[in-house]
A and B are shown apart, each in its own frame.
Chain A
Amino acid sequence: MNASSIAISSTAERRDWLPWLLLALFAVLAVVAPWVSPYPPDLQLDITGLRSAAPSASHPFGTDSFSRDVLSRVLHGARNSLGFAFGAVVLSVLVGTSYGALTSFAPSALSAVMRRAIDVALSIPRLLVLLAFTAFLGPLPVWGLGLLVGLTGWFATARQVTDELDALQRREFALAAHAMGVRTPRLFQRHLLPHLAPILAVTGTFAVANTIALEAGLSYLGLGIQPPTASWGTILQDGAGSIESEWWITLFPGLATVGAVLLCNILGDALRDRFAPAHVAGVMPLWPGTVASTSPSDDQRLTRAPESSHRSASRT
């Protein structure tokens, strides 16, 4: 099993560079959008003359029904959509890791309650919660929405971190450190966190993929990022009504969304394959199937698996 895992990771390694490169390209474009965009994203260039103009040399992606340059909007959309997803995921990873660590180190009674709370939180469909909040709070600014998405997305991470720390604490190095009188915060920071990092990277990557899709979905429903701010979701919404006659408005942000999500998923897979062997050799498999036994903790292991946490975290 070990050998095969290594085989995967080495073949994956060889082809790794392409998704990395493409994703880096997306990220760079998102960062430099204000400088490379031909036009400001919200500028209505000529609402009578350039209404829904088909792609041309001066507007490679065409213009939308408000005569805004679609290329500029997609570039700024990358900035908003990717930035949004990244920000929200960083927030959820931070909160999730902290909660997970606290849970794992807490006295057992408290810890049990905290675990149960996470189980419950994971069972409430996240999209319902998000929709309810947007309904009751009204349209939110981008940062507000990011906060909301981040703060509803950390449960799976917390669960995963808790379980991982539980396992790590039983390993020799941790027991030794403990025996030597290393205090818990230091133990966590110096010894346990480095072991968590790869797992968090994998989870985070999958979570970014899903948050991109989530933002697009919410904005498509008109409940996410609010117009005229360009995000891939809002551009899709602008063009959704005229998808056939003015295909260019939806095609490009649509491809960008699917592309970015796909790249993040590929990257997540690659990272997981690369980091998995170490853990398989260590304590727990990352991948649910790698241990086929059906010990009572299967569901725990499942939620720990990056992909399932990604799945239940962001599609909910």
Chain B
Amino acid sequence: MFPTRLLRSVLARSRSASLLIALAACGGADRGTGDAGEVGGTLIVTVPAEPSTLFPPLVEGSQDAAIVGTVFDRLAEIGPELETYGDAGFRPRLASAWTWAKDSLSIAFQLDSLARWHDGQPVVANDVRYTFQVYTSDSVAANNRSMLGNIDSVSVRDPRTAVFWFKRRTPQQFHDATYHMYILPSHLLAATPMKQLAAAPFARNPVGSGRFRFANWVAGQRVEIVADTSNPRGRAKLDRVIWSIASDFGAATVKLFAGEADFFEYIRPGDLGQIARAPSLRLVDNRALQYFFLGFNLNDPSGGSAPHPIFGDAQVRRALHMAVDRASIVRNAYDSLGLVALGPAPRALIPDTSSFKQLPFDPTTARAMLDSAGWLDTNNDGVRERNGRKLSFELLVPNSSAGRRSLAVLLQEQLRAVGADVKPLVMEVSAFSTRTDGRKFDAYMGGWASTPGLVGMPQTWGSKGSGNVGRYRSAAFDALVDSALTTFNRDASHRYWARAFQQIVNDAPAIWLAEQRAPVALHKRFIVPPLRPDGWYADLADWRVDPAQRIDRDRIGLGSAR
């Protein structure tokens, strides 16, 4: 339901592989393939789209993010509570320890001396420095580059120690340094000019340091990763995970029900009953942090800074927002699995959901507001006009999201009732992001997966945010968000957030539509830790197969690929 580039704010989501569990379970004894009770098994994930790249800074869809998140490592991993404040919630990963400077303006990360790239080379501090250069390079244009704005530089103190230098103290600075970047192997990449990294062979054949290593990518068919048996943090329990690419949702669903796949992330509400009845499948709760919205382009899509002929006017945006019966739409599209989104964040991340007011559903007032804004249906064709421009606009919809396609059709009908003509334009994700990033659109069906601690808010809705493709500009909102994120006083932070949400709801740069309780379908033989809301694959290395329920493909073992 939420692949797409709109995940960019959190693309760097990865398994948090609760290290403690990992260490306890894999303390050296069962690093090999021997113990058939603990390790072994094949997980087949069916996805409705092929990954576009496996180069971490440029991942787009959630299938890219999942594969990258299991093959690569961060310096430290956020805990299951997704606590972004300070470093208490974080667990060591590539860095085995870290030291804060007295003034808190730098953090020195000591790298795990056992950490190795999958080609056997040690992970060194220079890799960290190089990674920061790549993520912040103009030539690479990494998706979450703007999230790294508070990091001034990264230096190498010794081959095992990388030091992050910050511009200012914030509660999230540790999170900023660790969450957004997967460490890259400089010894394999540094020889390639930055500008060519996107097209380098590495992007289709990555080498990381995670507990799974990349095995192969058969174009149009599948991507396979296998357990890295010599990983210092323990061998992944499964032998392999295969992302099997289907042409669309229907085909992917069929694969799941036919037993050809074990895991499917994007279940349609209509299929839930069938999964519940299927003897081999179960639903696993997944509190994904996504929210969906119809985003307006506030500027003229033809370029320049002129306001959009329709959406430049906040009153029109509010009117359109009020014309939409969000409760019914969400009920139709997600059944009992959706909730009306309250603003640009899911409830789980909003400190106090009752502290700001929603725009009401009120088509009568909406019509009156459109009338008074000068949009009148003078020729009685059912569509309003003003100065020769019809109240008619294109709505970009990514084809990877069945949910958003449904939402678009529902919206189309409801907005028609107030005299607005919506023309949905379904396109593939990469084309969708090209259009939205290029600001060449009227409106789009967006979905963001929020970052823990809402640290991504400036990037998604701030004036300078690269994800703010509709160019919502509010100095008040920017200031409130900045205050909320930078104050060390939690109560004050909550108050700032309440005011920020009220501000953006009133300005209506988007119609906040839905958040989803998105269960995933999984074969019953898998025993899995709770799925982390910012990425189900975070603890993939700790997934295992119940030895009593193994099927043929679990018994293959490693290394017998032909």
Contact = CB atoms under 8 A, between A and B. Distances in A.
Interface of A: 42-44, 47-48, 51-52, 65-67, 138-139, 222, 226-228, 240-246
B270 interface: yes
A179 to B, nearest CB: 60
A85 B227 CA distance: 56
Contact of A245 (B273, B402, B412, B424): B273
B425 interface: yes
B250 A47 contact: no
Contact of A243 (B250, B268, B402, B426): B250
A69 to B, nearest CB: 13
A242 B426 contact: no
Nearest to B331: A48
A243 B268 CA distance: 13
A178 B410 CA distance: 65
A245 B328 contact: no
Given A66-B413, A228-B412, 14 more contacts: A44-B410, A47-B410, A48-B332, A66-B410, A138-B425, A139-B425, A222-B399, A226-B423, A241-B270, A242-B268, A245-B270, A245-B271, A245-B274, A246-B270
Nearest to B329: A47
Contacts of B425: 138-139
5 contacts: A48-B331, A66-B409, A66-B413, A227-B424, A244-B274
Contacts of B426: 222
Contacts, number: 52
A68 to B, nearest CB: 9
Contacts of B328: 47-48
Contacts of A66: 332, 406, 409-410, 413
B271 A242 contact: yes
A299 B409 CA distance: 49
Given A42-B413, A222-B426, A227-B409, A241 B332 contact: no
B249 interface: yes
Contact of A228 (B253, B268, B331, B413): B413
B332 A67 contact: yes
Interface in B399-458: 399, 402, 406, 409-410, 412-414, 423-426
Contacts of B268: 241-242
B184 to A, nearest CB: 35
A244 B250 CA distance: 11
B274 A65 contact: no
Q: Which of B331, B402, B409, B426: most chain A CB closer than 10 A? A: B409
A40 B406 CA distance: 19
Interface string B302-346: 000000000000000000000000001101100000000000000
A278 B110 CA distance: 94
Contacts of B399: 222
A44 B270 contact: no
B409 A52 contact: no
Contact of B250 (A138, A139, A241, A245): A241
List the 10 closest A-B pairs by CB distance, nearest first. A47-B332, A48-B331, A44-B413, A242-B270, A241-B250, A48-B328, A47-B328, A51-B332, A66-B409, A241-B249
A65 B413 contact: no
A85 to B, nearest CB: 24
Contacts of A44: 410, 413-414
B139 to A, nearest CB: 30
Interface centre among A43, A65, A240 (most CB of B within 10 A): A65
Contacts of A139: 425
Which applies to chain A's interface (DSSP): helix, strand, loop or mixed? loop
A79 to B, nearest CB: 19
B473 to A, nearest CB: 30
B331 to A, nearest CB: 5
A163 to B, nearest CB: 41
B420 to A, nearest CB: 14
Contacts of A240: 250
B223 to A, nearest CB: 24
A240 B253 CA distance: 12
A164 B119 CA distance: 72
A143 to B, nearest CB: 16
Nearest to B253: A241
Nearest to B426: A222
Nearest to A238: B409
A241 B409 contact: no
Interface string B91-127: 0000000000000000000000000000000000000
Contacts of B253: 241
Contacts of A222: 399, 426
B238 to A, nearest CB: 30
A8 B274 CA distance: 52
A43 B423 CA distance: 16
Interface string B541-555: 000000000000000
A224 to B, nearest CB: 13
A67 B406 CA distance: 12
B413 A241 contact: no
Interface in B226-282: 249-250, 253, 268, 270-271, 273-274
Nearest to A244: B274
Contacts of B332: 47-48, 51, 65-67
A217 to B, nearest CB: 15
A67 B413 CA distance: 11
A227 B425 CA distance: 10
B410 A241 contact: no
A251 B478 CA distance: 53
B402 A241 contact: yes
B239 to A, nearest CB: 33
Given A52-B270, A228-B412, A245-B270, A65 B406 contact: yes
Nearest to A51: B332
Contacts of A244: 274
A65 B329 CA distance: 11
A232 to B, nearest CB: 18
A127 to B, nearest CB: 17
B409 A228 contact: yes
A48 B410 CA distance: 11
A39 to B, nearest CB: 13
Nearest to A42: B413
A243 B413 CA distance: 24
B326 to A, nearest CB: 11
Contacts of A48: 328, 331-332
Contacts of B249: 241
B331 A47 contact: yes
A228 B426 CA distance: 12
Query: Chain B CB within 10 Å — which of A47, A65, A242 has the most?
Result: A47
Contacts of B329: 47
Contacts of B423: 226
A135 B268 CA distance: 28
Nearest to B425: A139
A13 B414 CA distance: 52
Nearest to B327: A48
A43 B417 CA distance: 10
A81 to B, nearest CB: 20
A65 B331 CA distance: 11
Nearest to A245: B270
A243 B426 CA distance: 21
A147 B489 CA distance: 66
Contacts of B412: 228
A52 B414 CA distance: 18
Contacts of A243: 250
B340 to A, nearest CB: 13
Contacts of A245: 270-271, 273-274
B253, B328, B332, B399 pick with most chain A CB within 10 angstroms: B332
A246 B268 CA distance: 13
Interface string B370-410: 00000000000000000000000000000100100010011
